Structure 1
Amino acid sequence: MGNIKYLQGDFINSEAILTKTLPYLKKIKKPRYAWYVYVLLGDNYYSTDDYSNSLLYYKKALNLKQSNFKKTKVLIYIAAVYIEQKKYEKAELILLVLSKKKDIYLKDKKLNDSEYARILYHLGLSYLRQGKLEAIDYFNRTLKIQLESEDYDALIETYKSTALFYQNINLKKSKQYAKEAYKISLKKNAISNKIVSLKLLIETSEGAELKKYSQEYLKLHDSFNTAKLKAKNQFARIKYDYNREQEENLQLKAQTIDNELQLERQKNRNFVLYIIISLILSLLTFLYFYLKLKGKKQKNDAIFESDRRISKHLSDELTNDVYQTLTYAENCDFQKDENKEKLLSDLDTIYSRTRNISKEHSLISTDKNYEIALKEMISGFKTPELNIILNGFDLISWDNIEKNKKIILYRVLQELFANMKKHSQATLVSINIKIIDKNLTIIFNDNGVRTKNSTPNFKNGLQNVENRIKTINGNIIFDKNSEKGFRISFSFPL
C-alpha cells in the first residue's frame, strides 16, 4: 500500500502507511521486509527534498543483513543524497569503489548493467555539478550501457544531463541530446521530463523551432502547473485527513486508556468487595459456631441445673424422712406388731415420694400419647382439697407442635403446679389453652394466697419457667393486679 501511494506521487500518505509498519518489523525474523520499508521511506523523503530523513532510512536499510546486490542499490541511493547535499567527495568515494567492481552480484545481466550504469551516471552527475569535464566520459559510458539494455526511463535523465553538459560548450550537441530526451519523454508520456527537455531545446534553438518549442513548453507548463496545483490540494486534503485520523486515534487511545482505568478501578472495587464478603462470611461462621457452643453450654448448664434441682428435691423431701426411719429402725422393738406396722408405713411413704419425684423428672413422651401424658402429669397434683379445670386441651392438634416445644410446655406446667402446691394453698386451678395469631397461648390461674401488686418470687421456681419460655421465643406475663390468687399467661409460636 505504501509503494502504491509512492508510485502515485502521494508521498505523505505513503509515509503515514509505512510508519504504521515499524512496530511490526521487530517481530519479523526475515530482514527483507524491513529493508523494503526503509528504502521506500528513504525514497519518499528524497522525493520531498527531506534529505536528512532520507539518508537516515537508507542507512537503516544498509545496516540490515542483506545480499550484496541490495547493499549496492542502497549505497547508490546514499550517494545520490550526498550529491543533492553537495557533499560530492562522500558521494564520489562510494561510487568510485562501486565502479571498480566487475560484478554487481546479480545473475540477470540486464539488471547488472542497469545498476552499473546508475553508478557511472551518478559519478558523471557529481562531476557535472562541480563543473568538471570528466563528467562527459561517465555520461557516454552510461548511455552506451542504457541503449544496449533499452533502459528508457534512465536514458531520459542521462540525455538531459548530457545536454546540460554541452549547453555552454557546444549548443548543437546540447540540442541533439535534448531532442533525444524529448523523444523518449513523448514515448513514455513523462510530462516533467518533457518540460525540462523543451526548456533545453528552447535554450539551444532559433527561429521557427524556437517558436514551436516555446508554444509547446507554455502549453505543457500550464497543464503541469494545473496538475501540480490539483496534486497540492490533494496533498493538503490527504494531510488534513491524516491529521484528523491521528486526532481520532489519539482520542480512541485516550478512551481506551480511560476504559482500562475504569476496568482496573472496578477490579479493585470487586477485590475490596470480595474481602468484605469474606470477612462477613468469616464473622457469620464464627458467630454460628459461637452460638452453637453457647447453646450447647446452656444446654449443659440446664442439665446440670436440673440434676441439682433433682438432688435438692430429693434432699428436701426424703433426707429427713429417711434419717428418722433409720433412727426408728435402730431403736425400735420389732417384737411388737404396732412397731412393725409403723416402720412399713414410713417405708411406703418414702417409696411414694421417691416414685413421684421420679415421675416429675422422667422422660416425656412426645408422640401421639403426649396429650394423655400431659393430662396424667396434671392429674397427679389433684387432691381431695384441690380441683383442677382444663379448657381447650382437646381442641389443639398436638401432633403439629414441635417436639422441643411439647417438652417445654410439659415442664413449665409441671413447674407451675409444683410451685402452687408448695407455696399457694390453692383449692382451685384452671388452665385455658387456645391458639391466637398462630401462637399457642396458655393461661394458668389459681386461687391461692397471694398479695395484690406483689412481684412473684422467682426463687420459688418461676425463674425456670421464664427461662424455658424464652428458649422457644415465647412471652410470659405475670398478672400483678389479681385480687386473689395467682395468674400467669404465656405463649409461643407454633
Structure 2
Amino acid sequence: MIKNLLPFFQKKNILFSLLIICLILATLFFVSFSKAEKKQKNHTKTDLSNKIKKTSEKAHAFFDAGKYDSAYFYFNKTQLLCDPKEDYADAYVGSLNYIVEILQRYGNFYEAEATLIKAFPYLDKTSSKKYAINAYTFMAFNYFYTYNNEKALYYHRKALKTAISTFRKARILSEIAFVYVQQKKFQEAKDILEPISKCKIADKITPSNTNLVRSGILYNLALSYIGLGNHKEQALKCLDESLELTIPYNNDFELIANYFGYYLYYSKYYNPELKKFYAEKSYHAAKRAKSAGNEIDRLADLLKMDKAEKAKKYWEIYTRKNDSLYLSRKTAKNQFADVIYDSKKDKEENFELKNQKAERELQLQRQKNRSYISYVVISLSLFIILFLIFYITTKGKREKNDIILKSEMRISQKLHNELNSNIYETLLFVQDHNLENQDNKEKLLDSLNNIYSKTRNISRENSKVPTDERYLAILKEMISEYKTKDVNIILNGFDSVFWSKIDKNKKIILYRILQELLFNMKKSNSSSLVSIIVKEINKNLLISYTDNSNEIISENNILEKRLQNVENRIETIKGTFNFDSNSESGFKISFKFPI
C-alpha cells in the first residue's frame, strides 16, 4: 500500500495542496476558538461594582465595631465577588489586606501569609500605591510577629520604596527603626529616627493620624536612646512629648506603650519608685483598654519588683488572667476557624454555580470547538505521517544508493589499480610466448594465481567480518595470507585476549586496521619481518605493529596519507594512535582503544 502511495506524494504540488488544506482547517479552528473565548469573557465581565461596594461597606462597619468574625466573613465575600480580579483590583487587594489584619489579631500568621501572597500579583493593577504599601507592611508585621526580623525589614523596605508621600515614608521608617530596636541595633534606629523627628510631617489625607504617627516616632527614638545609654535627657524629652501627643486621643491602648517607655527609662536610670509608678500606670491602662496580653505582661513586671505581700496579690491576679486569656483565645480561635471554614465553603459553592451557568451557555460552542480540534488533529496527523513515510523512505533509498555507488567506485578503482597491469602483462605473455612450453605454462599459471589472490583479497576486504567465536581464527587467517617465503610474521598475545567481551564494531575496525597495515607492508615490498603484539592493559587493548621496511614517514609521503585512514578508524572507537617517524630500524606504530 505504501509503495502505491509513494508516486502520488512525489508530486510537489500535491504536498503543497495538502499543506494548504491543513492550514485552512487550523485557521478556522483558531477563529472559532477565539470567538468562544471572547464570549466567555463577556459572560463573566458582568458589572459587580454595586454588589462589591455594598458588601465592602458591611465589612468595614463590622470591622469598625470590633466584630472581626463578621468583618472577616464580608471581606472574604467581597474578594470572592472580584472575578476577574483585574477589573476590581482595589476591592480585591483591599479586602485581602483587612482579612490579613484580622488574621494577625487572632494570631493566625500562617493563614495571613497565604492570604497576602494571593494579593501580590494584583498590586500593580490597583489605582493607588496605598494598597501595595499596606500589603508589604502587613507582610512585614507577619514576619515580625513570627520572629523573622530580616524578612520583616525586607518587606518594610519594599513598602518604603513604593511609598510616595513624605508622611507614609516617615511612618514606614519608624516601623523599620522599631525592628532595629528589637534587634538591639540602637544606633541604626537612632540614625533613622533623629532626622524625621526634627520635621513635623502632616498626613494630608487623614490629619488625625499626624500626631499619632509622630508620637510613635518619638517613642521609638526614646527606646533607641535608652538602649544606647548616655542619652538620658534626650530619652526623657522624647517620652514626654510622645505622651503629650497621645493624651488628647484618650486612647488607653496607645497609653500602654507610653507608660511602658517610662518604665524602661527608670529601669535604665535606676529610680525604683518611678519605675514602679509607671509599671502600675501601664498596667491600669492595659486593664482599661481590655488588652489582656498587655495586662498580663505588665503584671509580670510588677511581680518582679513588689514585696511579698503585694506579690502574692499580683500573682493571683496574674494566674487568673493568664488562664482566662488562654481560654478566651482558644474559644475565639475555634469560632474564627468556623468562620474561615464557612467562608471557604461559600467560595466553593459560588464558584460551582458560576461554572454551571457558564457551561450551559457555552456547551454548544465547546462541542463545535472539539469538532474543529478533531478535524485539525486528524488532518495534521495524516499529513505528518504520510510526509514522514515519504521522506524517510526516499532518504533511505538515496543514502543506500550513495553508499552502493561509493562502494562500487572504490572497488572498481582498487581493481583497476591493482589488477590492470597484471592482466595486461599476462595477455602480452600469452601473445608472445608458446604455451606448449612447460616453463611458459608454469609462468602463466603463476601469473593467473597472482591475479586470483589479489582479487580474493579485494573481495575479503569488502566482505562481512564474522565477530562470533570464529573471529580469532579468521583474523589469524587474514594475517597469514600476507606471510610468504620472504616475509615472516610473528604474532604475540592474541590467544590471551578474551575476544568475546570486546564490542563487535571494535573487532571489525581492528580487523580492517591490521589488514590495511599489512597491505601497505606488502605494497612497499621492503619488509622481511613483521611483529604484531596484543596486550590487555587497564581495560584497554594495546596493539603494537613493527616491520623492518625502509619506508620513511614524512609530511608529504604517500605512506603518511595512507595512515590517515588508519587514524580515522581508530578515532571512531575513541582510541589513540602513535607512530615512530624517527625510527632507524623500520616502521613502528602502536594504538589502543577501550574494551
Instruction: Give the TM-score taking structure 2 as reference length.
Output: 0.39
Structure with max Cα Rg: 1
Instruction: Give the TM-score taking structure 1 as reference length.
Output: 0.46
Answer 1 or 2: higher relative contact order, Cα 8 Å, separation at least 6. Answer: 2
